[in-house]
Structure 1
Amino acid sequence: MHVECRAAPDAATRRAVGTSTRCGVASPRVIDGRRKSKSKSADRRRGECMQLASWNVRSLVNASGPVETAFVRKNSNFRNSNFEFDKDDRRVDVVVGELKRLDKEVAGLQETRWFGEEVYSVGDSAVLSTRWRLPSGDGSFLRGACVAVVLRGRALRAWRDRGSQWAPVLPRLTVAVLRFVSGRSRKSVNLHVIACYAPTFRAKRSVMDSFFNDLQRAIQDVPGEDKFVLLGDLNARVGSRQSGIADDWQGVRGLHGFVEYNESGAELLLFLHMNDAAVCNTWFQKRAFHKQSWQYPRTKQWHAIDFIIMHHKDRRLCRDCRVVLNGDCGSDHRMVCLTVQLRQM
């Protein structure tokens, strides 16, 4: 019996029609202008992941006045020349819009410089802000650092399922508790999201001690069966450990950090070692520009001072951690992103 096989289409034809060939028979791989997924399991795995971010936004307000008056100015220093905004856009709208565009469902923001404590709704997102107390009297006021947690999508629903629980501990520290259902045991698992902003090296010793004491209490308040993720600008360099060389911080940092650690980094590493925590940024091999989060304005030298941290045993949840280059809100800090696997909680 003789079977005649048709000639396989050439490469140009395959690129034009979006087909692949097997035994000379063309099979479509693009349907309705979209590439067909190789397997349903790949789509399912993507749906079981969630992206978190840490971002120092360098203020969501003007020098004075409430957040409603903090509009974007045309001379704002946006790195992305294609960035478009309306003259009526508030700074918080720009930040939340960027997080939504990049599909970040949880974000810790630093240096928001808001007053008071409030849950602020921006579109389909909630901003949980911890801020300095409102001053009495009129006039302009010096705003402090302050942090916030932004939730949207599944994270916002998980926060509401937990009873909308959050604790504005201090202007530099806030905690929100989310409740997820584990994909394996179908049990409820609480995730404590801690957003923080550490004092700089110029701060007084008493200020640094107070910050780490408050952060220690926040971590200790996490029950043993719960999980936590710390999103923050820690103003420290942790470096990376060397392969095959004994390292005091072997369980805290991985092989893929950035440059050497400094004095503030050594203090941070000791603190994390005492709490069995690991710096997620250092466990994934990346190019240098996917590790650098802030550029010193005078020397133009890049540093990695923004981190995402989890308990050492929860490193198995982490699928990727990197600095992204396409997030822009006029800040001199880049956004650090972490992808976690929800079904393994």
Structure 2
Amino acid sequence: MHDKDDSNRPERRSALIALELSRLDIDIAALREVRFSGEGCLQEHGAGYTLFWSGRPATEGNHPVVGFIIKTSIASTLESLPTGHSDRIMSLRFPLKNKEYSTILSVYAPTLQAKSGEKDRFYSELRHVLRRTPPADKMIILGDFNARVGQDADAWRVVLGRHGVGNCNDNGHLLLEICMELQLDITNTIFQQKDKLKTTWMHPRSRHWHLIDYILVHQRDLRDVLHTRVMPSAECHTDHRLVRCRIRIRPKPITRKGGPPRKKYNHCRLQSDEIKAVFQASLQNNFESDSSQIDPSPELLWDKLKTDILQTSEEVLGFSTKKNRDWFDENNIEINNLLAEKGAAHRAHLARPSCLLRRAAFRHSCSILQQKLRGIQNEWWSNLTIKTQQCADTGDYSNQCMAPHTVSRVLCTVQTVRYSSRA
């Protein structure tokens, strides 16, 4: 995951975030600072999510990267992959019923301390992307705008609701101006609720909570927004709280492929002598039953033999289930226990944020989770490499864990993991 040796970020943060989103039943989430370079995607099979990101090449240094993490079942319905317009703006076009579409943007605006030229360039790119969007599409913008829009609903009556938070700053004026220009509504300010369900980020020095992460929709689609609120219980290894928006849309139904899925027999069970003996005995009994009444012609004998082999394979061997080997998913029980401990410490910290002992206990649980995950990863890769090498030495390629040409790459990966853990 491109971590430094002294990084406090747990291994496979994408998998941890996917598990948290699955717990909260989030279909599509916008991410920032994904820590990947270039453009690409990554599937988290255990939680059922797919991560897409867009950023600058690795040769240009460390820059903010935006992305989406989408349920794999939804990602399979996309007609095209998400498009990265820059390292701060990424969009996807989501098909709906009746040949309608919804365009969703993931954005990451410059901070308040950024130069005015950088801010102008970002909002110019955002205007360009929004104006190129088909007018009939439902527009949804998710992201960290690093802006405080305040609560002056009378001055910004069209775009700002009556339940804002705090005062407006310079970045907030830029955001309100583009919302007024493009007829966008800030959904975070239209629902009456407690401030802790609206504020998303705490200033590290003043310790005050602010609303800087927003979900924007077109004014004509505001009737489809059911609720927008912060999820304080979500722990996604970031100093920002998760904002969830429930929107009433009708996705395009998934088209099923014709014909039943093709099943494969679990032939690996024949490696056991006991299963092999049972298979041979069952096959012989099936073939000898009523064999005297069968016409001895080759065609009928072949049909009888094929039917008996298939029937015996289904009864004795069963069908194999496709499973991608992964250290995170195969240690799901142990990792869930670690996440439960960290979640309990996080909830205790949320109950009393001013308690230094609870805050220290939560940080300690995060550190323990990081150490345990790296240990699980090292042990899994070491065991897989040893088993693969044993299969290659004995010529048992049918039971080999992976293709022979990948063994050297796995050995290099394990050595890299070991050296990084010793640093």
Q: Same fold (TM over 0.5)?
A: yes
The residue number in structure 2 matching 1:29 is: none
Q: How does 1:1-345 map to 2 (within 5 A)?
A: 61-63=2-4, 72-73=9-10, 89-123=11-45, 124-135=48-59, 142-152=61-71, 155-159=74-78, 163-181=79-97, 187-242=98-153, 247-343=154-250
Higher strand share: 1
| CA shift for structure 1 position 134 | 2.4
- Counterpart of 1:188, as a letter, is K
| TM-score, normalised with respect to structure 1 | 0.68
Secondary structure of the structure 2 residue equivalent to 1:219: helix
User: Relative to structure 1, is the Cα distance of residues 344 and 105 closer, same or farther in structure 2, using a 3 angstrom cutoff?
Assistant: closer
Secondary structure of the structure 2 residue equivalent to 1:218: helix
Percent identity between matched residues is 28
Q: For the Cα contact (< 8 Å) 1:116–1:132, is it kept in 2?
A: yes
- Considering Cα pairs closer than 8 Å and 6+ residues apart, tell me whether 1 or 2 has the greater RCO: 1
RMSD after superposition: 2.2
Q: Which runs of no fewer than 5 residues in structure 2 stay unpaired?
A: 253-423
Q: For the Cα contact (< 8 Å) 2:184–2:217, is it kept in 1?
A: yes
Bigger Rg, structure 1 or 2: 2
Aligned residues: 250
User: Relative to structure 1, is the Cα distance of residues 303 and 168 closer, same or farther in structure 2, using a 3 angstrom cutoff?
Assistant: same
| CA shift for structure 1 position 224 | 1.2
User: Relative to structure 1, is the Cα distance of residues 148 and 90 closer, same or farther in structure 2, using a 3 angstrom cutoff?
Assistant: same
- Counterpart of 2:91, as a letter, is V
What is the rounded CA distance, in whole Å, between the counterparts of 1:117 and 1:291 in structure 2? 32
Q: For the Cα contact (< 8 Å) 2:232–2:242, is it kept in 1?
A: yes
| CA shift for structure 1 position 225 | 1.0
- Counterpart of 2:3, as a letter, is N
What is the rounded CA distance, in whole Å, between the counterparts of 2:162 and 2:50 in structure 1? 36
Q: For the Cα contact (< 8 Å) 2:96–2:251, is it kept in 1?
A: no
Q: Which runs of no fewer than 5 residues in structure 1 stay unpaired?
A: 1-59, 65-69, 74-88, 136-140, 182-186
What is the rounded CA distance, in whole Å, between the counterparts of 2:55 and 2:212 in structure 1? 22
What is the rounded CA distance, in whole Å, between the counterparts of 1:153 and 1:91 in structure 2? 17
The residue number in structure 2 matching 1:11 is: none
Higher helix share: 2
| CA shift for structure 1 position 72 | 4.7
| TM-score, normalised with respect to structure 2 | 0.56
Q: For the Cα contact (< 8 Å) 1:114–1:143, is it kept in 2?
A: no
